[in-house]
Amino acid sequence: MDLDNWNSWKQFLGELADPQFVDTSSIISKKTLTPELWDKNQLDPNVLEAALRIANDFFNSLNLDNVQIKDITLTGSLASYNWSEMSDFDLHILLDFNQLEERELLEDYFKEKIRNWNNAHSILIKGYEVEIYIQDSNEKHVSSGIYSLMENRWLKRPTSYRLDIDYSLVKEKAAKLMEDIDEAYDFYAEKDYLLAKDTADALMEKIKRYRKSGLEVGGIYSVENLVFKVLRRNEYLKKLSSIRTLSYDASMSLNEREKEYITYK
C-alpha cells in the first residue's frame, strides 16, 4: 500500500463540521428501524441470509476443529433507532472461549484474522459496510439492541429515546487523534521506522483503551466510541495499521546500499 495516497480530514469529520450537528446540542432518535434492513421488527429474509453467509464463510476460514458457533448477532446502531448512513453492519460471531484450548493464543489469532478481514474487504449489505467481530459468549456486550441471526429474533429490543451527543467534542477528539496518526506517518516517511512503529503501536493501544472506557461508562453513543467510528470511517484506523506493518517491515529490511556495504566491508 502506498501511504502517500492517503488524504487527511475526510468525509465523516467534515459531516461533523456541518452546522446542523455542531450547532445542535441534541438529536432525536429515529422513529423506525433501518427500513432497508427490517420488516415489521424482523430482519429482512434476504439480509438475514446474506449476513449468515458472510459470518459462516469467515468462521470457516478460521479452520477451528471441534468449535461450534453459539450464535451470530447483529448489534450496534443498525439494531437500534439511532442508525445513520454512517452506521456499520456489526456482525458478531459468538464462541464459548472457555471451551477453547490454548485460549490466549487463539484470542490473538482471532484479532489478527478479524483485522486482516476487515482491512481487506469492503462488503456491503444494503449499503452498510460489514464489520466482523468474534465475541466471547460469556462476556456481557453493550448495545442498545441485539438481534440473533441464528434464532431470527430479538435478544434485546431497542427503544427510541432522546439522545444527547456533544458533536463538537467528538470532532475535536477525532481531529487530535488523526493528527497523531499523521505524525506517525511523517516518521515513516522520514524513514525513522522504529519511531514510526513505536508511535503507531502506542496510538493503537491508546485508541483501544479509550474506546473500551467509553463503552463501559457511556455505551455505544459515548464520545469515545463515536470518535472511534470517525477514525474507522475515515480509514484512519486502516492507515494506522498500515503504518505499523510497513514500519516493521522496513526496520527489518536492508536496502541495496546497506547490503552492498555489508558484503564488501
Give the sign of the dihedral formed by CA 78, CA 82, CA 87, CA 90: negative
Phi and psi at 82, nearest 5°, equal: -115, 35
Rounded Cα–Cα distance for residues 125 and 177 (Å): 29
DSSP bridge partners of 121:
none
pLDDT at 35: 92
Residue whose C-alpha cell is 456491503: 124
Q: Phi/psi class of residue 138: alpha, beta or left (left: φ > 0; alpha: ψ in -120 to 50)?
A: alpha
The grid coordinates of residue 86 equal 454512517
Q: Which of 42-56, 142-156, 169-183, 190-204 is the most confident on average?
A: 42-56
Rounded Cα–Cα distance for residues 33 and 81 (Å): 5
State mean pLDDT over 200-206: 91
Rounded Cα–Cα distance for residues 204 and 234 (Å): 15
For residues 262 and 254, the answer to whether their CB atoms sit within 8 Å is yes
The grid coordinates of residue 185 equal 506517518
- What is the value of pTM for the model shown? 0.61
For residues 223 and 170, the answer to whether their CB atoms sit within 8 Å is yes
Greater model confidence, 132 or 23: 132
If one counts every other C-beta atom within 10 angstroms of the C-beta of residue 244, the result is 20
pLDDT at 94: 94
| Residue type for position 255 | N
State mean pLDDT over 4-13: 43
The grid coordinates of residue 142 equal 453493550
**Residue 4 banded pLDDT, cuts 50, 70, 90:** very low
The grid coordinates of residue 161 equal 429515546
The grid coordinates of residue 13 equal 469529520
The grid coordinates of residue 153 equal 429474533
If one counts every other C-beta atom within 10 angstroms of the C-beta of residue 101, the result is 9
Give yes or no for residue 181 having a pLDDT over 90: yes
Give yes or no for residue 213 having a pLDDT over 70: yes
Rounded Cα–Cα distance for residues 170 and 183 (Å): 20
Rounded Cα–Cα distance for residues 174 and 153 (Å): 35
Q: State pLDDT tens for residues 97-112.
A: 888 877 778 888 888 8
The grid coordinates of residue 176 equal 487530535
